[in-house]
Amino acid sequence: MNKLKIVVLLTATSVGAMAQTKKPAPKLKANTVSASALRSSLERGKEMYATYCVTCHQTDGGGVPNLNAPLIKSSNVVGDKKKLINILLKGMQGIDIDGESYSNVMPSASYLTDQQIADVLTYIRNNFENKASAVTAAEVNLIRKSK
């Protein structure tokens, strides 16, 4: 009888421990970026954009109707940073953004470093008529680790 109680107790303890180990969704803290760090990030981000993004999203960030989403005042760009970071890390296909459908595949850019992703997203979030907070490498790293 005592052995049965021990097994039940161990099972209950194990289930409780498993429930506690589930990773909560990462929360991004408000970041403060110095003016010089922001300028450097924007410069690097502009180069990253020219290398990896301009072909689909165009020089002006306008995208291609029904194929590649525009970056101009897009809710995906100026909205939740976690969502935007995940788009770069995981890629996407066949999505509706602000009432429009886009069918081209956006491949994952997870091969880029956290800093490179932060730089290009900071650039995008502060160009093409957008004005939004910078993305930091620490934020990208937090989202990457939570996958």
User: Which domains, and CATH codes, for the chain?
Assistant: 34-145 (1.10.760.10)
DSSP conformation class of 27: -
Tens digit of pLDDT for each residue in 83-122?
Answer: 999 999 999 998 898 999 999 999 999 999 999 999 999 9
Give the residue ranges of DSSP H helices in the chain. Answer: 2-21, 35-52, 54-57, 75-78, 81-90, 114-125, 137-145
**Which residue type, as a one-letter code, is found at position 73?**
K
Helix (H, G, I), strand (E, B) or coil at 100: strand
Tens digit of pLDDT for each residue in 30-82?
Answer: 567 799 999 999 999 999 999 999 999 999 999 999 999 999 999 999 999 99
Please give the model's pTM, rounded to 2 decimal places.
0.78
